Structure 1
């Protein structure tokens, strides 16, 4: 449990960084054009670097079977999140305007900054390798099919291809190609991606604080839908899948990775990504805070469940 405590400490640090962003917005340092500029920087520069760095850090010596497992798990992970989130939205019944935002929160989760440390603490480096493949598959699907669904017009037909053909999608496709073809970036390029990508998490969390500072946060905290959505999507869903899949004899590591990633809170750069796709970033920002706070209680319980 020492490792899990370390993960919780890391998440507490992210919350503190978001509070620094809140303070910066209140003091006028990150308002208006500055916020939009940083959102664009995260979405178009540092996030693609994070994606490429994840592919470069993966251990490629474990064989094709592990790659196939990771690809299948990544596809299953995305489809489960998509179908389950649609079902949960039908139960929660948000307004028509908020439905795309709830879908966005349900499938855009904190895989790297929260998920990978938990996976490594429970299952070791081999699980991180599988997790990195899941991350690559997820990014490829999210920034194509997922974005198409989230930004789809009211008619259900009109789709803006310019929003889909984005820098993160290109980076995800490149990362998958590099990984599958066993091609490594030059050392200087890999180090540059690592350095630039390391800015994604703190900048993303500061944008969370900025979005909260510019909205009526107290009003949303009183909205029961957000808490019901959190419980159903991030707590009930992972637990409900764990029991039958374990009874069916699913591999322990694969099952653990799937359950852990399904329980991750809303992604820390959600406001930046939402802004890039012309969505309201306030609700995702609040969703991050709510799901992150809940995760302090759910992560230790999740670890106990997986180690029984």
Structure 2
């Protein structure tokens, strides 16, 4: 794998984040505009990019690879759940923070950052593999993830918010587009040229707008407070460097399809997902730790992802 190319891609994405940071500091965006643009990216542009990534792809020889990828997706979440448990056992964070560290570990940014980074590294052919991670993400987040966040709130003595319709929340544009992408790919369903062009133009807006939003979220954070938290540094090193490199070493003796394995490793190396803060807040847990983890891990990813790729 050409690490120089990957580092150049990460620098390009970082430049987009820096632009978002500058836009926020110039006060060209306020919180309301930020939230509205986030909704557009998450609910419209990201799903369209997912669809476009599989349009016109021949599933003939790839169906078996999709099944292999499904196995790696299952392994991915098992590894993250176990890593969260091991981390809190080894580093012994405060009782009120233990489940939050586990929550941050299990739910990396597989979509909002995973899609632009992985598609930049492996191209559009990786999209069919990414969508299965997103399907698993939604399923686990709105079941196990919510339960974990509520337990974290109870540990902190907070009032827990009870969401009665978590199953309905799994039916969202991300899940729908992922299911549609799998169906289109497996059955080779053609889309008319105007629809393909629409998906092309709209999907191309996803990467720059996603990076602008991440830059704005960094600009909103109290960086001085985040950088003074030593435990977050240790967590970031374990999650974004030690874990993916360990998996690379363990799988080295085996012959695995490079793109499937590369997507698996890069998803492990992704920063904490922004949805974690929202889930913690809704459940009554202290979202400050989650916000700190998101910001620091996102900044670190500019360096850690190319480092991980050096071992691939």
TM-score range, shorter chain: 0.7 to 0.9
Equivalent-residue separation in structure 1 for 2:174 and 2:64 (angstroms): 27
Alpha carbons 1:17, 1:205 under 8 Å: kept: yes
Q: Give the match's secondary structure for 2:150.
A: coil
Q: Give the match for residue 156 of structure 2.
A: none
1:287 aligns with 2:297: yes
Gaps in structure 2 of 5+ consecutive residues = 153-159, 282-286
Cα distance in structure 2, aligned partners of 1:87 and 1:13 = 35
SS at match of 1:185: coil
- Return the match for 2:139 from 136, 144, 151: 144
Cα deviation, residue 63, structure 1: 4.4
Question: Aligned pair 1:221/2:220, yes or no?
Answer: no
The Cα offsets for residues 2-56 of structure 1, whole Å up to 9 and x where unpaired, read as: x421221121121111111111111211112111111111111111112212232
Match of residue 69 from structure 2: 70
User: What residue in structure 2 maps to residue 264 of structure 1?
Assistant: 269
Q: In structure 2, what is the equivalent of residue 233 of structure 1?
A: 239
Q: Deviations over 1:85-140 (max 9, x none)?
A: 443344445563684476346532443322344446xxxxxxx74x4333121111
| Cα distance in 2 for residues equivalent to 1:57 and 1:211 | 35
Q: How many angstroms apart in 2 are the aligned matches of 1:31 and 1:165?
A: 29
Task: Tell me which moved more, 83-92 or 221-230.
Answer: 83-92
Give distance in 2, aligned partners of 1:8 and 1:116: 14
Name stretches of at least 5 consecutive residues in structure 1 with no aligned partner. Answer: 121-127
- 1:52–1:172: 8 Å Cα contact kept in structure 2? yes
Residues 60/240 of structure 1: CA separation in 2 closer, same or farther (3 Å cut): same
Kindly indicate whether the alpha-carbon contact (under 8 Å) linking 2:42 and 2:174 is maintained by their aligned counterparts in 1. yes
Matched positions, count = 289
Aligned mates of 2:181, 2:55 — CA distance in 1: 8
Change (3 A) 1:42 1:119: closer
- Name the residue aligned to 1:25: 24
Q: CA RMSD in A?
A: 3.1
- Give the Cα separation in 2 of the matches to 1:105 and 1:142: 12
Question: How far is 1:289 from its partner?
Answer: 0.9
Alignment partner, residue 249 of structure 2: 243
Q: Quote the Cα distance in structure 1 between the aligned partners of 2:215 and 2:176.
A: 28
1:180 to 167, 186, 204: 186
- Structure 2 partner of 1:125: none
Q: Which deviates further from its counterpart, 88-97 or 23-32?
A: 88-97
Show the counterpart of 1:135.
130
2:117 aligned with 1:114: yes
Encode CA deviations 1:252-297: one digit per residue, 9 max, x unaligned: 6378436632453327xx44x4576575584323321122233344
287 and 234 in structure 1: CA distance in 2 versus 1, 3 angstrom threshold: closer
SS of 1:29's partner is coil
Q: Alpha carbons of 1:99 and 1:24: their partners in 2 closer, same or farther (altered >3 Å)?
A: farther
Once residues 83 and 53 of structure 2 are traced to their aligned partners in structure 1, the CA distance between those partners, rounded to angstroms, is 27
In structure 2, C-alpha distance between the alignment counterparts of 1:42 and 1:255, rounded to whole Å: 25
Counterpart contact for 1:53–1:194, Cα < 8 Å: yes
